Chain A
Amino acid sequence: MTTDLDTTWTGPLPEVSGETKPFWDACAGNRFLIQRCDDCGKMQYPYRGICCHCWSSAVSDVVIAGTGVVWTYSVVHRNRSKGHIDTGPYVVGVVEIDEGPLVVTNVVGCSPETVAIGMPVQLAFIKTAVGAKIPVFHPIV
């Protein structure tokens, strides 16, 4: 079961289109969606309105289990953009979720120096001031 972290999102907010609205609506309910193609059976991420493997328009939502491992990461020490300039070092991670796809995210809830490739991580959500929720991952303790 995924949880809400006791923190408020300071980064930029996602721009939501009709195509990606189901993904962000699901996040509001603490669910993270990837997609499986009804025709070729392959999965994909990020969310889009067509199967990138066979160009079928019949793609179905799959709610991920919420676990995975850090596939790679970088501890960001310098980012001069608004929303990130004063945060201190943070982790841009690429998580290989159990279902297979690589997911760009933040790895939170731990000291950045402790993050390592292969570290098991769990999905969680961070609330924003406008009600949307941002999916992130934290180490499984």
Chain B
Amino acid sequence: MPNTGDKNASRVATTSRRAAIVGAHEHPTRFAPDKSEWLLMAEASKAALADAGLSPSSIDAFFTSATAPEGGWLGACASVMAADYLNIQPVFIDETDVGGASFGYYVNRAVLGIQQGLFKCALIAYGATTKSMGVNVGTVRYDDLTGQPISPMPDSFEQIYGTTVTSFMGALTHRYMHEYGLTSEQLAAVAVTMREHAALNPDAVKREPISVEDVLASPMIASPLHRLDCCIISDGAAAIVVVHPDLVSECRKPPVWIEGFGESIMHHEGGFGNWATESREMVARAARQALTMADVTVDDIDVAMIYDAFTSNVVIDLEGVGFCKPGEGGAMVADGALRLKGGSLPTNPDGGGLSSNHPGRRGIFLFVEATRQLRGEAGQRQVPDAEVAICTATGAAFLARRGSAAHILRRDR
């Protein structure tokens, strides 16, 4: 249907303290061949509830993502299946699938349900055994990855040509380079910075330093993306607990308030959309909604959590959120803006998906690390006195059919 302008812009009812993250846990494992992703999810959920100081019996809403076959065996009807495994009795469930960004969508739905009085305590959980199952997430055709046969529409017009996740992102990155002058050296700086941060995270998969030259010399996976432009593949799990303000006083730690949120999907306009600029504008729509709702500007943000499946995702998201102008993201990352040490916008202090943890759907880890940072629990990689964080994630429902979610989180004042 016709483009009707920025619909996100009118969805900015002011908010504060509508709901809070009170429990968060990232499973320390990155390789768990003897466990199922169901068990990893259960262990993370148990730890997140303990972190919150709440009992599992408090849970009245449950959100999870199907991970089969790319990350395990939890497939169709994932939320009912996992709720049964955990023996919880939610009155509200959801498993909206926007790839790795799904968890941001769950946070949105949790906040909305809490505001509506439908429930007060939402558990959002994830587990995947992608590494131990040997799944080549970025280097198989999408039909192989999803376990779905080639469909008449749209797969038969795209998948047959041998598209992979990395080749899709590579094609997008090439166009972004063409339109905005972004370079491989600038992209490599993102990987180098993430690795610097991972060195401070004892749970990170890759902790040894790398250089721009190392990134450029690593094997080409799908041009212009080298192996070190791509996230690692790990097993992993995490859970967060989102509650109504009424429950905050019962919790063990100060709340992290969800002050603004937004989501948007990519517009293709029947083959006439510009994938490159639209990838950025999709992020921009979601982020503008979140920033406006929270009544903050990019200058108020102390720490950024950006979904870094590939180095180029970070540049596009920085420009989309408005940390710099379109075309300036490459220079921004190359100048060290993302670095914990001296950077103007410390980003992914945990080392991100590029170096710490990426079982395939990384979105939930953004919220866990943001919560740790805003609570002052991040140890060696703590951003001093972090008060406001942004989480921005883009995920693929099907290659170029993508969705983006953005959130503004603030520590208790």
Contacts and interface: CB of A to CB of B under 8 A. Distances in A.
B37 to A, nearest CB: 22
Nearest to A106: B161
B288 interface: no
Contact of A17 (B152, B160, B173): B152
A15 interface: yes
B163 A92 contact: yes
A121 interface: no
A124 interface: no
Contact of B171 (A11, A12, A92, A134): A92
Interface string B261-274: 00000000111110
B65 interface: no
Interface residues of B, number: 48
A80 B233 CA distance: 15
B191 to A, nearest CB: 17
Interface stretch (B74-82, B134-142, B200-208, B368-376): B134-142
Given A76-B167, A79-B162, A84-B162, A54 B1 contact: yes
Contact of B174 (A12, A54, A102, A117): A117
Interface in A1-51: 11-17, 19-20, 34, 42-48, 51
Interface in B147-170: 149-164, 166-168, 170
A99 to B, nearest CB: 9
A120 to B, nearest CB: 16
A102 B272 contact: yes
Contact of B164 (A45, A47, A79, A102): A79
A111 interface: no
Interface in B1-56: 1-2
A123 interface: no
A12 B221 contact: no
Nearest to A20: B152
A16 B156 contact: yes
B171 A53 contact: no
Contacts of B141: 12, 79, 81, 83-84
Given A15-B156, A71-B175, A117-B178, A76 B271 contact: no
A41 B144 CA distance: 37
Interface in B329-343: none
A73 B152 contact: no
A73 to B, nearest CB: 6
Contact of A77 (B163, B219, B269): B219
B2 A53 contact: yes
B270 A101 contact: yes
Contacts of B162: 11, 76, 79, 81, 83-84, 87, 90, 92, 106
Contacts of A103: 271
B267 to A, nearest CB: 11
A57 B156 CA distance: 22
Given A15-B156, A46-B157, A92-B171, A78 B139 contact: yes
B190 to A, nearest CB: 18
Contact of B157 (A74, A87, A104): A104
A78 B174 CA distance: 17
Contacts of B2: 53-54
Contacts of B270: 42-45, 51-53, 101
A12 B153 contact: no
Contact of B1 (A53, A82, A100): A53
B156 A100 contact: no
A87 to B, nearest CB: 8
Contact of B140 (A77, A79, A102): A79
A104 B158 contact: yes
A52 B172 CA distance: 23
Contacts of B221: 77-78
A105 B161 contact: yes
Interface in A54-104: 54-55, 71-84, 87, 90, 92-94, 100-104
A84 B159 CA distance: 11
B160 A11 contact: yes
Contact of A44 (B155, B167, B271, B275): B271
Interface of A: 11-17, 19-20, 34, 42-48, 51-55, 71-84, 87, 90, 92-94, 100-106, 117, 134, 136
Given A80-B139, A101-B272, 17 more contacts: A11-B160, A12-B141, A12-B150, A15-B150, A15-B155, A15-B156, A44-B271, A72-B174, A76-B166, A76-B167, A76-B170, A77-B219, A84-B162, A92-B161, A92-B162, A101-B271, A102-B271
5 contacts: A20-B156, A54-B1, A54-B2, A72-B171, A80-B140
Interface of B: 1-2, 136, 139-141, 143-144, 149-164, 166-168, 170-175, 178, 219-225, 269-273, 275-276
